[in-house]
């Protein structure tokens, strides 16, 4: 019998309507979902931060219609966590903003998207954007046990 | 996911201390921006952000802090961060968010700095 129970693959999905406190609503759900998976607190914090930066980017650049539906998919396997966030906003690849991020002394005047994407790319291992069925789809993977920073 | 800010002032030392409790994120950053702007505008020599009970920070929060840091510096004052937890520290490091800002690892370091400030004041 193994010391720890084998982690099963799990996929959770939740839809959120655009509007006030969108970031907080997503983060509260994500925290509860991650805690149910018995993920370590540091990893939970990093994944929530990544999700916040993605959602903030969507809010900033997506030009979302009223009552737009943002979907968050969380996939957990023994090796990695995957976060996929889709929105019906205008075509926008946030990953293209990463190179334009101003860091350090110019942080307060940097574009919101650039800073957020810098955090996203630093705290995840793989990032992939696609446009499908008139939705932006950002797929992020964080390998478990990988070293960051 | 709320943020409370508890402010204490030492007028003799010209030091303001803002203790952050909770999460400084996209939703809480605007209100904190107003509080911090008001505090920095009062012109204390040192404004300390005590992060002992800050559980979470995002780029939106860092942007607010560094706007205030630059304004403090321009006015000849300082903004400092104290008691950052490791995961908060990591976000600062990723965004290279250190310029224009003093950092105190703990209360002891802050107290030493304040003692030095007080000695300067007494020394005229």
A101, pLDDT greater than 60 = no
> Which residue's entry shows tokens 């693959």?
A9
Which ipTM did the prediction report? 0.81
Q: What whole-number distance in Å separates Cα of residue B35 and Cα of residue B54?
A: 16
> Which residue's entry shows tokens 């005047």?
A109
Q: What percent of chain B has pLDDT over 70?
A: 94
In this predicted model, what pLDDT tens digit does every residue of A71-90 receive, in sequence order? Answer: 999 999 989 999 999 999 99
Q: What whole-number distance in Å separates Cα of residue B72 and Cα of residue B80?
A: 10
Report the chain B residue with the minimal C-alpha distance to residue A22.
Answer: B27
Q: Please tell me whether residue A149 adopts helix, strand or coil conformation.
A: coil
**Shortest alpha-carbon distance between residue B117 and chain A (Å):** 25
CA triple B92-B95-B96, angle to 5 deg: 75
What band does A66 get if pLDDT is binned at 50, 70 and 90? confident
**Shortest alpha-carbon distance between residue B29 and chain A (Å):** 12
Which residues, in sequence order, are CB contacts of A47 under 8 Å at separation 6+? Answer: A30, A34, A39, A81, A83, A123, A142
Q: Is A118–B63 a contact, with Cβ atoms under 8 angstroms apart? A: no
Task: Please report the pLDDT score of residue B3 as a whole number.
Answer: 94
B contacts of A149 (beta carbons < 8 Å): 90, 93-94
A109, pLDDT greater than 70 = no
Alpha helices in B17-99 (DSSP H): 29-41, 59-74, 86-94
Q: Is B26–A55 a contact, with Cβ atoms under 8 angstroms apart? A: yes
Residue in B95, B98, B100 to test binding to A, most A beta-carbons within 10 Å: B95
Q: Which of A42, A48, A116 sits opposite B59 (nearest CB)?
A: A116
Task: Please report the pLDDT score of residue B123 as a whole number.
Answer: 64
What band does A24 get if pLDDT is binned at 50, 70 and 90? confident
B86, pLDDT greater than 70 = yes
Report yes or no: B20 and B82 within 8 Å, Cβ to Cβ.
no
B120, pLDDT greater than 90 = no
Which residues sit opposite B8 in a β-bridge?
B17
Q: Which of A28, A59, A119 sits opposite B59 (nearest CB)?
A: A119
Q: Which of B26, B67, B93 sits opposite A108 (nearest CB)?
A: B67
What band does A103 get if pLDDT is binned at 50, 70 and 90? low
Round the average pLDDT of chain A to a whole number and report it: 84
Task: Please report the pLDDT score of residue A149 as a whole number.
Answer: 42
**Shortest alpha-carbon distance between residue B98 and chain A (Å):** 6
> Whole-prediction pTM value?
0.85
């Amino acid at each position: 019998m193994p010391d720890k129970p084998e982690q099963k693959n799990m996929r959770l999905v939740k839809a959120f309507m655009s509007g006030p406190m969108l970031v907080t609503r997503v983060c509260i759900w994500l925290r509860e979902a991650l805690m149910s998976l018995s993920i370590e607190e540091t990893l939970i914090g990093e994944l929530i931060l990544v999700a916040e930066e993605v959602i903030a980017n969507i809010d900033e650049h997506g030009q979302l219609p009223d009552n737009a539906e943002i979907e968050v998919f969380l996939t957990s396997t023994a090796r990695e966590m995957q976060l996929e966030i889709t929105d019906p906003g205008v075509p926008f690849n946030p990953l293209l903003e990463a190179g334009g991020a101003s860091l350090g002394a110019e942080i307060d005047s940097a574009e919101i998207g650039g800073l957020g994407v810098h955090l996203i790319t630093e705290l995840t291992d793989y990032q992939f954007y696609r446009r499908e069925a008139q939705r932006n789809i950002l797929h992020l993977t964080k390998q478990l046990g990988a070293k960051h920073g | 996911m709320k943020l409370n800010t508890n402010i204490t002032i030492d007028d003799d030392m010209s030091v303001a201390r803002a203790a952050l409790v909770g999460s400084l994120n996209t939703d809480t950053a605007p209100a904190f921006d107003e509080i911090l702007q008001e505090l920095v505008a009062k012109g204390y020599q040192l404004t300390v952000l005590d992060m002992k009970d800050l559980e979470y920070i995002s780029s939106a929060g860092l942007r607010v802090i560094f706007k205030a840091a630059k304004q403090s510096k321009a006015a000849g004052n300082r903004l400092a961060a104290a008691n950052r937890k490791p995961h908060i520290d990591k976000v600062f490091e990723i965004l290279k968010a250190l310029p224009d800002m003093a950092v105190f690892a703990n209360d002891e370091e802050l107290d030493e700095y304040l003692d030095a400030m007080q000695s300067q004041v007494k020394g005229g």
